[in-house]
Structure 1
């Protein structure tokens, strides 16, 4: 009887965790078949500052960035747009946006012009600064406090 109860707990807890994880997925736009053509260009038409993250779920740094971008999307979704492109599943984006490393973040202003790009993981504060939501660069803000 005890083994049956342990087995039930061992199966039920991971299943509940998976269900909860799926229930709280953020509203980051993903490049997929639902877009006709270029998903990044479709998102840029919304007229908001945008960060486009080019990476893959197989990349450790990309998974770290996904957590940061998920939080930013939830907190600032009314004023910014976040789009995530899996470049291993959508290889044409590599050439189109000249992606040289994963993750790469490209920042666009509200008019859809590229204003900056960064290769590798970056902090939440740096992203907010590049999107124009922080008045000071993170290192300057840290020195003032």
Structure 2
């Protein structure tokens, strides 16, 4: 459809991938750029004819967790990282013991969605944990493996 509109106006339509998943559309008229539009989400799906959403259209699990009214622990890691695998056990224990009082978000750097979230939150290394209060404010960050009792203390959930 966009190609048909461009043709009726005497414009040449060009599109290309930019930064992995964002599509840039450039309408040209006699060699001069007329309009540049960044297209994401459904428009990019329409252009490519694929069933995979661009990374910028994916939901942000951290933002959703911060709206729950519970303290949030976000773990950035990967299956290829020994300290990250150690944290998987800590997260499982916390989910069992305190899952009703907190939200745990595990972001895997090994997936395209995980890499997008990793970049959005400016993570420099893994494993890294982000701590959010019940009202959604960031309470701190930690780099490396961390014991469950320290996590609970940072989230204000320590017993005693």
The one of 56, 60, 70 equivalent to 2:78 is 56
Aligned twin of 1:96 = 120
SS in 1 for 2:119: helix
Give 1:88 shift: 2.6
Q: Deviations over 1:41-83 (max 9, x none)?
A: 1122211001000011111101101100110111111111111
The one of 66, 87, 90 equivalent to 1:65 is 87
Aligned twin of 2:132 = 108
CA RMSD of aligned residues (A): 1.9
Give 1:135 shift: 6.7
SS in 1 for 2:158: coil
Tell me how many residue pairs correspond in the alignment.
103
For structure 1, the 5+ residue unaligned runs are 1-35, 137-145
1:95 & 1:56 partners in 2: Cα distance?
A: 14
Q: TM-score, normalised by structure 1?
A: 0.66
Q: Is the CA contact 2:149–2:158 (under 8 Å) kept in the aligned structure 1?
A: yes
Larger radius of gyration: 2
2:89 & 2:65 partners in 1: Cα distance?
A: 20
Q: TM-score, normalised by structure 2?
A: 0.60
Aligned twin of 2:108 = 86
SS in 2 for 1:127: helix
Q: After the TM superposition, which parts of structure 1 deviate over 6 Å for at least 4 consecutive aligned residues?
A: none
Greater share of strand residues, 1 or 2?
A: 2
Q: Which has the higher contact order (CA 8 A, sep 6+)?
A: 1
